[in-house]
């Protein structure tokens, strides 16, 4: 016992310590009460919401995309059910273990799964798509191990299906998951990671109508993210159906006739601008994109030297070759530089000074008038006709018929083509020469067009001079069948041209098929007007033995000649003479178009001797 006179008595010291302890405890309880008051009264709503969020999950239900159908209601694009694998990052209690298990099930590296999980950390409560379109083996494996996979779930959803595979693929487009680059842009701020988006063609252009309105369900989950009960559900609303101007039967015939070729086939109603068929080759199977295509697979398609993603009908451009002779003929007749009786001799070559320009036919065609020159596609005739008409008039008429400007289809970037500018060039460069005019007169040199531009041009020749904007969507309809929007023909302008000029050119084009270079397009009972063309890729004599440097083959046409209902343009890349490779493709299209369903009248046509095929 202490004997210090300054020490308080033992009982007094104990009492002091008790008071101090009670005071500390009291202060602690007071602080706790203040904290509870702050949390429950001032911040109560906020923390209640956080608590609710922690046990409730909102699961989006993807709306089925609308169908895409042809003009007769035949399905071109539909949906099929598929099972997808999702994960909600917030519910993954052991990321490393879950990543390892998923890697084993999916047959990928753990690092790949972890990287995918990391993508969802910015939106931890948002379900993240891991794998689309699971096969049966994978679904069974996930179900068997679901207790070891907190936050992982299987969901059924509609996925895009293209029942005919690659038919009209470049026109229809494809659907794939919205990518990170798109998600970073303001226009896609309402999209979720893993959500689908139309990426090309009709799927992209009309995505806002096709995609519909997603629904969702609110589900209560336990601490491991497992569903306990459904709290609420909002049903998704299906997207609208898109009816195209395409005729599936004509499309299939064009696809079959063009098998094994590169280039394009396009058919249009020349009196309305409605596209009836559109083939672009090489192409792709859009079903590949309906699944989660790998980066390597995408790179293989995107970097393919044959450009399968390009729609050659309106995004590619080529020298028109002898097709351009139609513009030279019209320019000559309209300006008075030529008449139907204008004659030139063709010995098989033409000299301009010391420069020699050959005809496609060795030995030449002899003396021809304008009709004969068109029917036989005589180069030498048009060398001389072009010099007489002049490049300015040729270009003026070409622009009037839609060359040198985008056709306005509205399905993505469109090739403008090119027309010569005869104005003096920049200092130090040679000016326009007569030789340039000679080359341009047969659609070479600086004359470049897209197949769609030539389709608009030949349609105007067929219909009396009206330039129509080409279009592919006939109407948009709700799931109930109610028409939401309907599209009508749009005449851009009327070409100022004498009726007798067009009548003459149409009859000359009729001769091309009945007795000239386009005879392989002939269909019994259907008067077809056409023009063949062969466009050089390199100088004559160069590139022999190299298939990719072989000439392009063209054929433009319409029928019936006196009541045109369909115009067809065929371009075969590196195919050679248009009369040999392109005209037979057009024939198959006409045979399909004039079958029983189409009300096209068949009339008699005179038989003619078998012509020499060229150009």
The DSSP string of 11-79 is HHHHHHHHHHHHHHHHHHHHHHHHHHHIIIIISHHHHHHHHHHHHEEEEEEPPPPPPEE-TTS-EEEEE
Overall average pLDDT of the 38-63 stretch: 61
Mean residue pLDDT of the chain comes to: 87
Rounded Cα–Cα distance for residues 434 and 422 (Å): 10
pLDDT at 21: 57
Q: Using the predicted structure, report yes or no on whether residue 596 has a pLDDT greater than 60.
A: no
Residues 6+ apart with CB under 8 A from 321: 442, 443, 444, 533, 534, 535, 536, 551, 552, 554, 578, 615
Q: Using the predicted structure, report yes or no on whether residue 325 has a pLDDT greater than 90.
A: yes
pLDDT at 292: 67
Strand 68-69, strand 241-244: pairing: parallel
Place of tokens 């994960």: 87
Instruction: With beta carbons less than 8 A apart as the criterion, state whether 335 and 389 touch.
Output: yes
pLDDT at 566: 98
Place of tokens 């060229």: 614
Q: Using the predicted structure, report yes or no on whether residue 15 has a pLDDT greater than 80.
A: no
Instruction: Give the DSSP letter of residue 611.
Output: P
Strand 68-69, strand 227-234: pairing: unpaired
- Report residue 601's pLDDT band, with 50, 70 and 90 as the boundaries: very low
Q: Using the predicted structure, report yes or no on whether residue 283 has a pLDDT greater than 70.
A: yes
Instruction: With beta carbons less than 8 A apart as the criterion, state whether 323 and 394 touch.
Output: no
pLDDT at 26: 62
- Report residue 88's pLDDT band, with 50, 70 and 90 as the boundaries: confident
Provide the token pair at 37.
């008051």
Give bridge partners of residue 566 from the DSSP assignment: 559
Rounded Cα–Cα distance for residues 50 and 414 (Å): 51
Instruction: Give the DSSP letter of residue 311.
Output: -
pLDDT at 16: 62
- In terms of pTM, does the model score above 0.85? no
Most confident of 19-33, 79-93, 567-581: 567-581
Rounded Cα–Cα distance for residues 303 and 582 (Å): 28
pLDDT at 602: 45
Q: Using the predicted structure, report yes or no on whether residue 483 has a pLDDT greater than 70.
A: yes
Q: Using the predicted structure, report yes or no on whether residue 45 has a pLDDT greater than 70.
A: no
Least confident of 199-203, 388-392, 515-519, 593-597: 593-597
Instruction: With beta carbons less than 8 A apart as the criterion, state whether 365 and 376 touch.
Output: yes
Tell me, letter by letter, the H, E, C secondary structure of 76-119: EEEEEEEEEEEECHHHCCCHHHHHHHHHHHHCCCHHHHHHHHHH
Instruction: With beta carbons less than 8 A apart as the criterion, state whether 176 and 196 touch.
Output: yes
The separation between the first and the last C-alpha atoms of the chain, rounded to the nearest angstrom, is 128
- Report residue 89's pLDDT band, with 50, 70 and 90 as the boundaries: confident
Rounded Cα–Cα distance for residues 163 and 61 (Å): 24
pLDDT at 201: 96
| Spatial CA neighbour of 373 closest among 344, 351, 409 | 344
Overall average pLDDT of the 158-172 stretch: 93
pLDDT at 422: 80
| Spatial CA neighbour of 279 closest among 162, 163, 169 | 169
Provide the token pair at 102.
């998923």
Higher per-residue confidence, 23 vs 584: 584
Rounded Cα–Cα distance for residues 502 and 459 (Å): 11
Counting DSSP H helices and E strands in the chain, the numbers are 21, 23
Instruction: With beta carbons less than 8 A apart as the criterion, state whether 211 and 243 touch.
Output: no
| Spatial CA neighbour of 207 closest among 218, 220, 196 | 196
The top-level CATH class assigned to 248-283+310-593 is alpha beta
- Report residue 447's pLDDT band, with 50, 70 and 90 as the boundaries: very high
Least confident of 70-79, 371-380, 452-461, 545-554: 545-554
Rounded Cα–Cα distance for residues 30 and 479 (Å): 64
Higher per-residue confidence, 182 vs 163: 163
Q: Using the predicted structure, report yes or no on whether residue 243 has a pLDDT greater than 70.
A: yes
pLDDT at 51: 47
Rounded Cα–Cα distance for residues 613 and 615 (Å): 7
> Could you give the angle at the alpha carbon of 274 between the alpha carbons of 448 and 165, nearest 5°?
85
Residues with a known catalytic role: 322
Strand 196-198, strand 175-177: pairing: antiparallel
Instruction: Give the DSSP letter of residue 225.
Output: S
Least confident of 118-127, 129-138, 332-341, 569-578: 118-127
Could you list the beta-strand ranges (E) of 339-409.
344-346, 349-352, 355-358, 366-368
Structural domain boundaries of the chain?
57-244, 248-283+310-593
- Report residue 50's pLDDT band, with 50, 70 and 90 as the boundaries: very low
Q: Phi then psi for 146, rounded to 5 degrees?
A: -65, -25
- Report residue 10's pLDDT band, with 50, 70 and 90 as the boundaries: low
- Report residue 47's pLDDT band, with 50, 70 and 90 as the boundaries: very low
Overall average pLDDT of the 2-30 stretch: 57
Residues in the chain: 615
Buried b (16+ CB within 10 A) or exposed e, 537-568: beeeeebeeeeeebbbbbbbbbbbbeebbbbb
Classified by CATH at the fold level, domain 57-244 comes out as Penicillin-binding protein 2a (Domain 2) (3.90.1310)
Rounded Cα–Cα distance for residues 150 and 89 (Å): 9
Higher per-residue confidence, 307 vs 33: 307
Edge-to-edge strand ranges of the sheet holding 56-61 = 56-61, 215-221, 227-234
pLDDT at 62: 86
- Report residue 598's pLDDT band, with 50, 70 and 90 as the boundaries: low
Overall average pLDDT of the 221-250 stretch: 87
User: Helix crossing, 451-463 with 325-335: angle to 10°?
Assistant: 40
Place of tokens 């969901």: 155
- Report residue 610's pLDDT band, with 50, 70 and 90 as the boundaries: low
């Amino acid at each position: 016992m202490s004997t210090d006179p300054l020490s308080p008595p033992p009982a007094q010291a104990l009492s002091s310590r008790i008071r101090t302890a009670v005071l500390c405890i009291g202060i602690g309880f007071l602080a706790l009460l203040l904290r509870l008051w702050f949390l429950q009264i001032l911040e109560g709503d906020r923390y209640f919401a956080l608590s609710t969020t922690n046990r409730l999950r909102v699961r989006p239900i993807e709306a089925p995309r609308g169908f895409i159908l042809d003009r007769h209601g035949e399905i071109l694009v539909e949906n099929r059910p598929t099972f997808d694998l999702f994960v909600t990052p917030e519910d993954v209690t052991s990321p490393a273990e879950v990543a390892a298990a998923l890697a084993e099930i999916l047959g990928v590296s753990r690092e790949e799964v972890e990287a995918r999980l990391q993508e969802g950390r910015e939106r931890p409560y948002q379900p993240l798509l891991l794998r689309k379109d699971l096969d049966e083996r994978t679904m069974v494996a996930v179900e068997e191990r679901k207790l070891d996979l907190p936050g992982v779930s299987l969901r059924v959803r509609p996925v895009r299906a293209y029942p005919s595979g690659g038919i009209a693929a470049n026109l229809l487009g494809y659907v794939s998951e919205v990518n990170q680059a798109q998600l970073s842009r303001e226009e896609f701020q309402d999209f979720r990671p893993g959500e689908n988006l139309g990426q090309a063609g009709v799927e992209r252009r009309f995505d806002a109508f096709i995609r519909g309105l997603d629904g969702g369900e609110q589900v209560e989950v336990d601490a491991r993210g497992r569903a306990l009960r459904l709290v609420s559900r909002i049903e998704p609303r299906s997207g609208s159906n898109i009816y195209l101007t395409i005729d599936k039967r004509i499309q299939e015939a064009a696809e079959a006739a063009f098998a094994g070729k590169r280039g394009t086939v396009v058919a249009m109603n020349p009196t309305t601008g409605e596209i009836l068929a559109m083939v672009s080759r090489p192409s792709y199977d859009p079903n590949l994109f309906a699944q989660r295509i790998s980066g390597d697979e995408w790179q293989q398609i995107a970097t393919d030297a044959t450009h399968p993603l390009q729609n050659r009908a309106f995004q590619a451009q080529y020298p028109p070759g002898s097709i351009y002779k139609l513009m030279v003929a019209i320019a000559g007749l309209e300006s008075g530089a030529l008449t139907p009786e204008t004659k030139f001799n063709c010995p098989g070559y033409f000299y301009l000074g010391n420069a020699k320009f050959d005809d496609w036919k060795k030995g030449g065609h002899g003396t021809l008038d304008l009709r004969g020159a068109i029917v036989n596609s005589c180069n030498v005739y048009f060398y001389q006709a072009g010099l007489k008409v002049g490049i300015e008039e040729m270009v003026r008429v070409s622009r009037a018929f839609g060359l040198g400007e985008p056709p306005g289809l509205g399905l993505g970037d469109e090739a403008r083509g090119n027309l010569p500018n005869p104005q003096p060039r920049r200092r130090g460069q040679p000016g326009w020469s007569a030789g340039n005019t000679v080359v341009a007169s047969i659609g070479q040199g600086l004359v470049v067009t897209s197949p769609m531009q030539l389709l608009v041009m030949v349609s105007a020749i067929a219909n009396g001079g009206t330039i129509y904007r080409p279009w592919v969507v006939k109407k948009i309809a709700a799931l109930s069948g109610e028409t939401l929007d309907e599209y009508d023909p749009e005449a851009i302008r009327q070409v100022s041209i004498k009726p007798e000029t067009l009548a003459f050119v149409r009859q000359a084009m009729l001769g091309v098929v009945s007795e000239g270079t386009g005879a392989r397009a002939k269909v019994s009972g259907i008067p077809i007007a056409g023009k063949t063309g062969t466009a050089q890729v390199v100088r004559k004599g160069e590139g022999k033995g190299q298939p990719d440097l072989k000439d392009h083959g063209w054929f433009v046409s319409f029928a019936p000649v006196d009541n045109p209902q369909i115009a067809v343009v065929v371009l075969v890349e590196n195919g050679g003479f248009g009369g040999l490779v392109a005209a037979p493709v057009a024939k198959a299209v006409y045979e399909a178009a004039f079958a029983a369903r189409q009300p096209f009248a068949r009339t008699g046509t005179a038989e003619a001797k078998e012509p020499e095929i060229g150009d």
